[in-house]
């Protein structure tokens, strides 16, 4: 029996947008410099859509990064791992995840 191929039935997975909370290691961490270092650390297949700052306590602020992750194996895990290796980062956690 010959094979039947219907165009458009198999497609790539869509992108995923993730809000990732990055806690700096202390109040003395320069958030502007930290943002630049996070941009440099982003793995291939993902891109940063933007940053916002969230007050935590006593002047400490967390960074919230909106990251778009394409069809890559492991999803946000590679991004979390890359961010956690950046100097000045205490912890990294995904706050929200959604398909685009």
Q: Which helix (H) or strand (E) holds 22?
A: strand 16-24
Tokens of 26: 């202390």
Q: Is the pLDDT of residue 11 over 60?
A: no
Cβ atoms 41, 82 nearer than 8 A: yes
pTM for the whole structure:
0.81
- Return mean pLDDT, the chain: 87
Q: Is the distance from CB of 79 to CB of 43 less than 8 angstroms?
A: yes
Residue 1 within a domain = no
Q: What percent of the chain is predicted at pLDDT more than 90? A: 66
Domain containing residue 21: 16-99
Any idea what the CATH number is for the domain that residue 52 is in?
Answer: 3.30.70.60
Strands (E), the chain: 16-24, 46-57, 60-69, 89-99
Residue 12 has pLDDT above 70, yes or no: no
> Do 41 and 51 touch, CB atoms closer than 8 A?
no
43-70 tens-digit pLDDT: 988 999 999 999 998 889 999 999 999 7
Number of structural domains found in the chain: 1
Q: Give me the pLDDT at residue 79, please.
A: 93
6 domain-assigned: no
């Amino acid at each position: 029996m010959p094979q039947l191929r219907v165009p458009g039935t198999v497609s790539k997975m869509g992108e995923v947008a993730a809000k990732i909370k990055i806690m700096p290691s202390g109040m003395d961490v320069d958030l502007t410099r930290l943002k630049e270092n996070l941009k440099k650390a982003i793995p291939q297949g993902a891109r940063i859509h933007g940053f916002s700052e969230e007050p935590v306590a006593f002047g400490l602020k967390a960074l919230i990064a909106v990251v778009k992750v394409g069809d890559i194996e492991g999803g946000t895990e590679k991004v979390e791992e890359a961010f956690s290796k950046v100097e000045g980062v205490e912890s990294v956690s995904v706050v929200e995840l959604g398909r685009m």
